[in-house]
Structure 1
């Protein structure tokens, strides 16, 4: 449960980070704030105290509360994105995709590549207690082969958990998977054929492109930017391309971090029904919102049963906690037997541990504490990157949630060359080349901001910035 003072504090913090509230600006008095928000003085005081603890505001005796100035907040241009027309095509660079995947899980490298939370942000003690309690109360049947659809208690827990966030999915429609990517794999194989085309916006998460290449599916790309993507182009692709499947992330898309409006989400659900085109919705970052309220998924507006809802707790809880889900609408219930055959059963103790974590409210409490920490950490990364790449025409995303950052450099900068340079210095980044086709994003890279901005990470970023300046200098001389 998110308390009202926490929700209000996050709203004010967002305004500070986005520059709507500037340094040394005076805030409303406690009494004024309580009247404006229709809250008690105690709630108003708790809100301001939380902002003080986060280092965002300070109290001046007999004067009130002010936005703190010690943190220099600089603005930087958002990345621009090419417009293009796309025809069905195969995903290229599969060998490079595989190489990058291997580097992403190499713990000997500095973690700026794979988007994952720092172990220090994982509620280890709460997880331990939940797993211990779950094991203590196990029944004999819990040690037999588990239901391939997933433990019914976990399906009920997810259904109840999402209902608190404003959308309902029945437990019988939920299938538990070993993470989000296996869920996507099972669905894609059951609702499309080898050689079929999948519609998706780019730049798009390279892991999904790698999966589609391995499954021998083609892609139809739609231009995306930090605000989202053009629904007119989406409709055009649905209507004219012959594709009957889309793969979309509406909430804090990787790598751009955008969150679509409710109106856009509703429109997508309507388009899916109109053109009978299934939307596979990957909602893996929704619980990493910088706002106290989790944004609604496209699935919320799905009345005709053309949206398949997927996700996992790997981004909000732990990358190693391999529990995900996919939710099949009644329209696709005829696939139940095939899904049960292909879905790999998930470790029962882990499922039961997550059940306890949800029902004990520890998971909800973790999310409440995680969101402001992530918002602060991502903004720290952004400000450090702006400082590190001084005198470079660097453009940087400003995500509304999640912890992926998209950097765009002048066209002379080769993101793949930067990737290989970083590898030589035990630094892991992901070059923009693998987030789409035709080399459109070769002057871009994606960075992970899920780890604390340690001295090692700061040094790594400075090294990359020096490399970029050297490349630009060489090109200028040439």
Structure 2
């Protein structure tokens, strides 16, 4: 269970990382902060103490509390700019390119700067092995029979307890286990919509989601997104004026932009979903990749009417190869339970038991505690090296406060598709911006993966991209 001081500390930390509270700014006194937030003085003291322990604020004797310079805020490069647009329902293009990029992501001959995945060195293989061995040792005979399609009870209970520790609660009866996050999205989309229906998505949006929607023959209604979040006015307009009854979005450490919405914005989105009776599939796959010790709350936390479907998996914090994900089905949608179970592929039971042990033994929590500062440092190293390598080119670069996707915006006349083809010839995998939306809006952008250690091969690949870009100028 999370305490109030932890939630307040998280909100202030996000403002510091996003630059809303710049380095050197004086904060409210403890008494002022307690009065403003309507909490006790003791809660305010605990909040500031936690931020001080995280190195985000410092105290000057007889002067007060001040914001510490954030290590991953680089002053020499601007944030990407994003187009404003109005859109109508449209089909998804570039499906063949999407499939080609997906195939490239598993090609061992390429330097993987494109697909967002962790280095094998960051996978807690020893702890996982111990949990799997314990699970098999203590398993029962019924664990080797056909299992419940909704998922193993032990894993459902372990996930519910894990989330409760982070401050949000989903009943065990509403949790469904799936073979990863994307299969969960596919089942939900096919259950709640028909071929030809339109789904609201903020763009730039994760290209894998767009590929899925295109494959399922669904149209999209795009809503502008930027490095601070989603245009909520346009989101409301799309919910109000379109016939769409489904929205697919990520609120925490969005791929590719890296933003995290504020709690007020999440609460507003939950209210909009209820007002316009538009279901939201919340893909929260990166939430536990925060660069701070505190995990941000999902939109689901504010869902009072049952219009938010929560989804996630272990792919981004452990390994995509385990193929274990989950989603919640609120009571409002229980009428679709039989249909959903019919399309769900049952997940390996011993693996579910092993992951339940991994959570209950605290090994999962320990892994997250160790992973988060590594991700922050790794992302900072990538940003520093990219800025150094592109020093002679006017670029803009995202500055995520979680996850490990980087959005690099090149000069306007640079064609990222040409860069993608050139990089592939050089044995480098990147993802061009045109697959993150329609109408060529992001043709001068690329997405880069910072999930691997910045070794010599990756540094050389970044230098290669920078040299080609400079040559085009």
TM-score by length of 1: 0.87
Shift of 1:107: 2.4
Q: Is the 8 A contact 1:405 1:449 kept in 2?
A: yes
In structure 2, how many angstroms separate the alpha carbons of the residues matched to 1:293 and 1:399? 15
Cα distance, 1:412 vs. partner?
1.6
> Do the aligned residues in 2 keep the contact of 1:196 with 1:218 (CA within 8 Å)?
yes
Query: Which secondary structure state, in structure 2, belongs to the residue aligned with residue 440 of structure 1?
Result: coil
- In structure 1, what is the equivalent of residue 436 of structure 2? 435
State whether residues 174 and 326 of structure 1, in contact with CA within 8 Å, keep that contact through their aligned partners in structure 2: yes
Identify unmatched segments of 5+ residues in structure 2. 25-41, 59-67
Displacement of 1:108 in angstroms is 2.1
| 1:327 equivalenced with 2:328 (yes/no) | yes
Aligned residue number for residue 396 of structure 1: 397
C-alpha distance in structure 1 between counterparts of 2:200 and 2:71, whole Å: 46
- CA pair 359-370 structure 1, distance change in 2 beyond 3 A: same
Which residue of structure 2 aligns with residue 270 of structure 1? 271
Report the alpha carbon displacement of residue 109 of structure 1 after superposing the two structures with TM: 1.1
Q: Distance in 2 between matches of 1:410 and 1:158?
A: 44
* 8 Å CA contact retained: 1:2, 1:368: no
Aligned to 1:454: 455
Aligned to 2:467: 466
1:328-343 aligned within 5 A: 328-343=329-344
Task: Report the counterpart of residue 288 of structure 1 in structure 2.
Answer: 289
> Structure 2 vs 1, CA of residues 68 and 405 (structure 1 numbering), >3 Å: closer, same or farther?
closer
Q: Deviations over 1:203-238 (max 9, x none)?
A: 000000000001000000011100111111011101
Which residue is equivalent to 2:209? 208
CA contact (8 A) 1:257 1:404 kept: yes
Q: 1:2 to 1:453 in 2, by over 3 A?
A: farther
Alignment partner of 1:420 is 2:400: no
CA RMSD of aligned residues (A): 3.1
Match of 1:112 in 2: 113
Give 1:61's aligned residue. Answer: none
Q: 1:357 to 1:387 in 2, by over 3 A?
A: same
- Is residue 115 of structure 2 the alignment partner of residue 84 of structure 1? no
The one-character-per-residue Cα deviations of 1:330-371 (angstroms, maximum 9, x if unpaired) are 000011111111000001111111000000000001111111
C-alpha distance after superposition, 1:438-457 (max 9, x if no partner)? 10101000000000111110
Which residue does 2:37 correspond to in 1?
none
Write out per-residue CA displacement over residues 270-311 of structure 1, whole angstroms, 9 at most, x where no aligned residue. 111111100010000000011211111001111111111101
Task: Please give the TM-score of this superposition, normalised by the length of structure 2.
Answer: 0.87
- The equivalent residue for 1:126 is 127
| Cα pair distance change 1:14/1:449, threshold 3 Å | farther
Give the match's secondary structure for 2:327. Answer: strand
1:140-159 mapped onto 2 (5 Å cutoff): 140-159=141-160
1:37-93 Cα distance to aligned partner (Å, 9 max, x none) = 857xxx99xx87x97xxxxx9xxxxxxxxx999999543100001111110000001
Distance 2:74 2:275 in 1: 45
Q: In 2, Cα distance between the equivalents of 1:173 and 1:141? A: 23
Q: How does 1:144-183 map to 2 (within 5 A)?
A: 144-183=145-184
CA distance in 1, matches of 2:77, 2:389: 13
Q: Report the equivalent of 1:64.
A: none
Q: Secondary structure at the match of 1:320?
A: helix
The CA distance in 2 between the partners of 1:297 and 1:210, in whole Å, is 24
Q: CA deviation at 1:408?
A: 0.5
- CA distance in structure 2 between the aligned counterparts of 1:223 and 1:14, rounded to whole angstroms: 21
Report the CA distance shift for 1:198/1:14 in structure 2 as closer, same or farther (over 3 A). closer
Tell me the matched-pair count.
Answer: 444
Query: Could you tell me which residue of structure 2 aligns to residue 62 of structure 1?
Result: none
Q: Could you tell me which residue of structure 2 aligns to residue 378 of structure 1? A: 379
Measured after TM superposition, the shift of residue 118 of structure 1 is 0.6
Tell me, in whole angstroms, the C-alpha distance in 1 between the residues paired with 2:380 and 2:199. Answer: 34
| Structure 1 residues 467 and 266, CA gap change in structure 2 (3 angstroms) | same
Unaligned runs of 5+ in 1: 23-34, 52-56, 58-66, 473-478
For the structure 1 residues 17 and 379, does the alpha-carbon distance in structure 2 shift closer, same or farther, using more than 3 Å as the test? farther
Misfit runs of 4+, over 2 Å: 1-5, 11-22, 35-39, 67-75
Give the superposition deviation at 1:15.
6.0
